[in-house]
Amino acid sequence: MSQGTVDVLIAGIGLIYFAAALVWITVALHMAYTKMDWMLEQLKNCTAIMVRAPLKHGGPWGRLMLIGGISGIVTFPNFYLKRGELCPEDWKNFPRI
């Protein structure tokens, strides 16, 4: 491969990576502004969520951090259940797809 081909390939991969990051940030912000109240209501007895709940009033960055926290709790519930930060009843009643 010539140097020009490698440069174009690296630039293309970088642009795809950047575009994908923008898409997922947009999806997370959409969820934060449209589904946040519902998610907080579903997990209202969880200490891990209630500690992060004030981030809802922190603008877009606060909402992104709150969505990230909720997604971490939903992705790895056993970690939070063992530590007592996730209420088992709330987790059992949380909708699954």
Beta carbons of 85 and 48 less than 8 angstroms apart: yes
The share of the chain scoring above pLDDT 90, in percent, equals 87
pLDDT bracket for residue 3 (50, 70, 90) = confident
Report the pLDDT value the prediction gives residue 20, as an integer from 0 to 100: 97
Beta carbons of 69 and 52 less than 8 angstroms apart: yes
Q: HSE, CB side, 13 Å, CA atoms: give it for residue 16.
A: 6
Domain assignment of residue 12, given as a range: 3-93
The count of domains in the chain is: 1
Report the pLDDT value the prediction gives residue 62, as an integer from 0 to 100: 95
Task: Give 67: exposed, middle or buried? Use CB within 10 Å, 0-12, 13-18, 19+.
Answer: buried
In the three-class reduction of DSSP (H, G, I as helix; E, B as strand; rest coil), residue 32 is classed as helix
Global pTM reads: 0.80
Average pLDDT, integer, range 1-19: 91
pLDDT at 29 over 90: yes
